[in-house]
């Protein structure tokens, strides 16, 4: 999924927080910035005025405007024209400084959004850089139920009818929290971090066959739902027909569990597969999977410890 944002959307999202005012270039409201344009940009999405490696949002502070004032008339005109040729998403003048008339005219003629803000330059830089990075980060929608279990984000996946929502409801009654049902959205907000959220349409809702749509917040209270969580583990529910008839589990799998990895936005997420069979308490097994993952993250591996103990026992028993 390719994320994008228009100048108008960015203005509307940050207008109140940064006290933005549109000074010129309103004809460029639909100017678009797409995530594919941000992969190899130098130096960043938002930054102080740069005409060598231009930012997509150019911030003009006191020093930048003073530098423009020091240029002779011809060089100043060429510099402003060059800034507009780069087609930035927007120009932002900090501290509500008086904006030069030639800059206003150039922005209006080129339909380049020009905004004014009373905020200092570093405040504009921090807010805009963070906001754009999140809005344009790679994202994907997966099928499953995303929950917080023992403080870690766990995505429960499986075929339709495998019992994902029933398991989620049981976990909620045991004190865990729902993030999103059916279609959680995951955004790569850092090189190794996937942040999972719920689409606004599905917020607080859980759908179960026979019961329909349940509002978890109204049924169990505010503590039963969570706005977002980092994805750390995937628990996949596999029906019995997933396994070949008569097949015996691998010897190592009996010790380590049915472990694997799944790539989400090119990041490898640990995955454990739980067979769905009559009489199995999947809620307890999912809790145990989450606890085991937490232990492994701390360097505690029960299977490795058992194998080491077994090897030591054999060596001790060897004459």
**Domain tally for the chain?**
2
Which residue in 148, 223, 216 sits closest to 179, CA to CA?
148
Contacts of 308 (CB under 8 A, 6+ apart): none
What was the pLDDT predicted at 142? 94
Is residue 162 a known part of a binding site?
A: yes
pLDDT top residue among 304 and 280: 280
- pLDDT tens string 184-235: 999 988 888 999 999 999 999 999 988 999 999 999 999 999 999 999 999 9
Residue 317 covered by a domain: no
- pLDDT tens string 32-81: 988 765 444 556 788 888 888 888 999 999 999 999 999 999 999 999 99
Cα angle 136, 131, 2 (rounded to 5 degrees) comes to 10
Angle between helices 164-173 and 282-297 (to 10 degrees): 80
Which residue in 21, 6, 16 sits closest to 56, CA to CA?
6
Is residue 317 a known part of a binding site?
A: no
Same domain, 161 and 195: yes
Residue 59 covered by a domain: yes
Boundary of a domain, candidates 73, 100, 135: 135
Residue 203 covered by a domain: yes
**How far is the C-alpha of 151 from the C-alpha of 229, rounded, in Å?**
9
Share above pLDDT 70 across residues of the chain, in percent, rounded to a whole number: 90
Same domain, 87 and 143: no
Same domain, 177 and 294: yes
Residue 319 covered by a domain: no
What was the pLDDT predicted at 244? 55
DSSP assignment string, 90-136: EEEEGGGPPPPHHHHHHHHHHT--EEE-SS-HHHHHHHHHHHHHHHT
Strand 228-238 versus strand 205-208 pairing type: unpaired
Strand 57-60 versus strand 177-182 pairing type: unpaired
**How far is the C-alpha of 125 from the C-alpha of 289, rounded, in Å?**
42
210 lies in which domain range? Answer: 139-312
Q: What is the CATH number of the domain that holds 54?
A: 3.40.1390.20
Is residue 108 a known part of a binding site?
A: no
pLDDT top residue among 70 and 279: 70
Same domain, 63 and 212: no
Residue 211 covered by a domain: yes
Share above pLDDT 90 across residues of the chain, in percent, rounded to a whole number: 61
Cis omega (within 30 of 0) on the bond before 43? yes
- Contact criterion met (CB below 8 Å) for 146 and 153: yes
Is residue 287 a known part of a binding site?
A: no
Residue 181 covered by a domain: yes
Instruction: Kindly list the catalytic residues.
Output: 143, 164, 182, 254
Same domain, 112 and 155: no
Q: What is the CATH number of the domain that holds 255?
A: 3.40.50.300
Same domain, 126 and 155: no
Which residue in 77, 108, 76 sits closest to 91, CA to CA?
108
Same domain, 289 and 164: yes
What was the pLDDT predicted at 39? 46
Is residue 163 a known part of a binding site?
A: yes
Residue 8 covered by a domain: yes
Boundary of a domain, candidates 92, 110, 135: 135
Same domain, 114 and 148: no
- Contact criterion met (CB below 8 Å) for 277 and 240: yes
Same domain, 123 and 42: yes
Same domain, 288 and 176: yes
Q: What is the dihedral of CA 261, 263, 266, 270, to 10 degrees?
A: -40
Is residue 117 a known part of a binding site?
A: no
Same domain, 11 and 73: yes
Banded pLDDT at 251 (limits 50, 70, 90):
low
Which residue in 142, 162, 161 sits closest to 153, CA to CA?
142
Residue 318 covered by a domain: no
Is residue 212 a known part of a binding site?
A: no
Same domain, 280 and 305: yes
Walk across the sheet containing 57-60 and list its strands. 21-24, 114-116, 90-93, 57-60, 46-48
Boundary of a domain, candidates 102, 120, 135: 135
Radius of gyration of the chain (CA): 27
Is residue 158 a known part of a binding site?
A: yes
């Amino acid at each position: 999924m390719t994320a994008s944002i228009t100048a108008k959307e960015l203005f509307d999202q940050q207008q109140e927080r940064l006290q933005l005012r549109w000074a010129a270039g309103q004809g460029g409201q639909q100017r678009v910035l797409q995530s594919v344009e941000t992969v190899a940009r130098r130096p960043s999405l938002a930054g102080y005025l740069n005409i060598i490696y231009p930012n997509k949002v150019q911030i003009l502070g006191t020093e930048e405007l003073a530098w423009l004032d020091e240029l002779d008339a011809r060089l100043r005109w060429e510099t402003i024209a060059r800034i507009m040729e780069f087609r930035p998403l927007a120009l932002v003048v900090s501290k509500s400084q008086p904006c030069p008339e030639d800059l206003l005219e150039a922005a209006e003629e080129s339909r380049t959004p020009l905004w004014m803000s009373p905020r200092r330059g570093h405040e504009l830089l921090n807010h805009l850089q963070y906001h754009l990075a999140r809005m344009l980060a790679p994202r994907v929608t997966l099928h499953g139920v995303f929950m917080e279990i023992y403080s870690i984000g766990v995505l429960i996946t499986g075929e339709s009818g495998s019992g994902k929502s029933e398991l989620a409801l049981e976990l909620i009654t045991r004190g865990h929290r729902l993030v999103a049902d059916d279609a959680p959205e995951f955004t790569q907000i850092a090189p190794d971090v996937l942040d999972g959220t719920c689409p606004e349409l599905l917020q607080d809702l859980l759908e179960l066959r026979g019961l329909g749509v349940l509002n978890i917040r109204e049924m169990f209270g505010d503590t039963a739902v969570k706005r977002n969580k980092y994805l750390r583990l995937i628990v996949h529910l596999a029906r019995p027909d997933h396994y070949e008839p008569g097949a015996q589990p691998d010897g190592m799998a009996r010790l380590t569990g049915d472990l694997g990895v799944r790539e989400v936005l090119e990041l490898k997420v640990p995955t454990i597969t739980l067979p769905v069979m009559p009489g199995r308490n999947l809620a307890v097994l999912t809790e145990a999977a989450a606890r085991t993952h937490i232990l492994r993250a701390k360097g505690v591996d029960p299977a490795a410890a058992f194998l080491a103990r077994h090897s030591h026992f054999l060596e001790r028993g060897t004459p």
